[in-house]
């Protein structure tokens, strides 16, 4: 890579980081609601799962913790995107494939783990229990002390699977949908094309990745009891137990909040990123 190309790549990484931070902050309350929905019904017997929905979950969070409760776990979420999103976006642009994104997810997985744990803590507060962690660094410290360094990568395999499915549905779909819209003269290469492409991207990414996302969330949230027991031995065990207790539809728990989050996330990110690229003098993605 030539020096000018190298400098351009760094600038694109910066632009992608800023766009990802804007998108993550905007849609984080929906992500929190999705995580709580995916954990709903865990640790209960067959037939004892009470129905709920995203609105009820979000309302309960606000009632018990106030509006700021919807942003619990935001800092590790932003930290994750500083590593994950820029590299996968710029890497995809250079390679037009998702071959390297799974490696990036391995690096970013600890931040995702902390985000899930902190999001799940709010549910413990609603049950009258003490939260496990007081903040991002406290969570990192306690996880390492109680579960070892390897504990930071708990749930990494379903996380990698989810990353592959999300990237296949998100990046490839956005890329192809935008080119389809422009090629068929539905719209020029502008905000309308970016909006249509981001809607399709969010829908396909959600449909493909939701089961892996449910397994990832539950694997990351579990910790050993005082007796040294864990709920799931591995991702497959989590998948089987979830379906056995809650039914096949449980694998798509949080689908609507996930889509409701991915849709706006995709829109905010891609519109911001494309606009920042235009301002910086880069061609369209």
Please tell me whether residues 14 and 90 are part of one structural domain: yes
- Asked whether residue 86 is domain-assigned, the answer is yes
Q: Are residues 106 and 94 in the same domain?
A: no
Domain boundary residue, one of 112, 134, 151: 151
Domain boundary residue, one of 116, 151, 186: 151
pLDDT of residue 254: 76
Beta carbons of 12 and 283 less than 8 angstroms apart = no
Q: Give the burial string for 27-41 (b: 16+ CB within 10 Å, else e).
A: bbbbbbbbbbbbbbb
Among residues 33, 36, 222, which one has the least CA distance to residue 132?
Answer: 222
Same domain, 34 and 71: yes
Q: Are residues 94 and 107 in the same domain?
A: no
Number of neighbours of residue 80 by Cβ within 10 angstroms: 22
Is residue 183 situated within a structural domain? no
pLDDT digits (tens, 9 = 90+) for 54-79: 788 888 889 888 888 889 888 888 88
In a domain, 176, yes or no: no
**Residue 199 falls within a domain, yes or no?**
no
My answer on whether 41 and 53 are in the same domain is: yes
Residue 25 lies in a domain: yes
Same domain, residue pair 15 and 63: yes
Other residues' Cβ atoms within 10 Å of the Cβ of residue 184: 8
**Does a structural domain hold residue 113?**
yes
Helix 101-126 to helix 74-95 angle (10° resolution) is 160
Does 35 share its domain with 81?
yes
Same structural domain for residues 8 and 35? yes
Task: Say if residue 92 is in the same domain as residue 147.
Answer: no
* 49 and 9 housed in the same domain: yes
- Please indicate, yes or no, whether residues 30 and 87 belong to a single structural domain of this protein: yes
Q: Which residues of the chain have pLDDT under 70?
A: 1-7, 41-51, 95-108, 123, 125-128, 155, 159, 161, 223-228
Which of these three, 134, 151, 168, is where a domain ends? Answer: 151
Q: What is the pLDDT of residue 3?
A: 43
Q: How far apart are CA 22 and CA 214, in angstroms?
A: 25
Q: The domain containing residue 89 runs over which residues?
A: 1-98+269-284
Whether residue 249 lies inside any domain: the answer is: no
Query: Total domain count for the chain?
Result: 2
Whether residue 35 lies inside any domain: the answer is yes
| Amino acid 19: pLDDT | 92
Q: Are residues 68 and 88 in the same domain?
A: yes
* pLDDT at residue 44, as a whole number: 54
The residue length of the chain stands at: 285
C-alpha dist (Å) from residue 93 to 82, 83, 219, 269, 274: 17, 16, 32, 15, 13
Render pLDDT for 15-29 as a digit per residue (tens, 0 to 9): 999 999 999 999 899
């Amino acid at each position: 890579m030539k020096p000018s190309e190298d400098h351009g790549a760094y600038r694109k990484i910066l632009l992608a980081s800023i766009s990802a931070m804007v998108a993550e902050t905007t849609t984080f309350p929906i992500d929190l609601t999705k995580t709580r929905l995916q954990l709903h019904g865990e640790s209960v017997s067959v037939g004892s799962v009470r129905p709920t929905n995203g609105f009820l979950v979000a309302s309960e969070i606000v009632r018990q913790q106030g509006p700021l409760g919807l942003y619990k776990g935001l800092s590790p979420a932003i930290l994750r995107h500083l590593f994950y999103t820029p590299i996968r976006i710029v890497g995809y642009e250079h390679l037009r494939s998702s071959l390297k994104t799974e490696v990036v997810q391995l690096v970013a997985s600890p931040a995702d783990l902390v985000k899930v744990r902190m999001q799940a803590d709010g549910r413990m507060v609603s049950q009258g229990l003490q939260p496990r962690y007081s903040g991002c660094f406290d969570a990192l410290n306690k996880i390492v002390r109680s579960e070892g360094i390897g504990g930071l990568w708990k749930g990494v395999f379903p996380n990698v699977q989810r990353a592959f499915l999300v990237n296949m549905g998100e990046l490839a779909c956005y890329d192809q949908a935008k080119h389809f819209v422009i090629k068929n003269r539905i719209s020029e290469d502008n905000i309308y094309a970016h909006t249509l492409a981001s809607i399709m991207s969010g829908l396909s990414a959600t449909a493909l990745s939701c089961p892996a996302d449910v397994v990832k969330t539950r694997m990351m949230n579990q910790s050993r009891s005082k007796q040294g027991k864990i709920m799931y031995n591995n991702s497959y065990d989590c998948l089987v137990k979830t379906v056995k207790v809650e039914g096949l539809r449980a694998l798509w728990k949080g689908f609507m909040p996930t889509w409701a989050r991915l849709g706006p996330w995709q829109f905010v990110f891609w519109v911001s990123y494309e606009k920042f690229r235009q301002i910086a003098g880069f061609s369209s993605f």
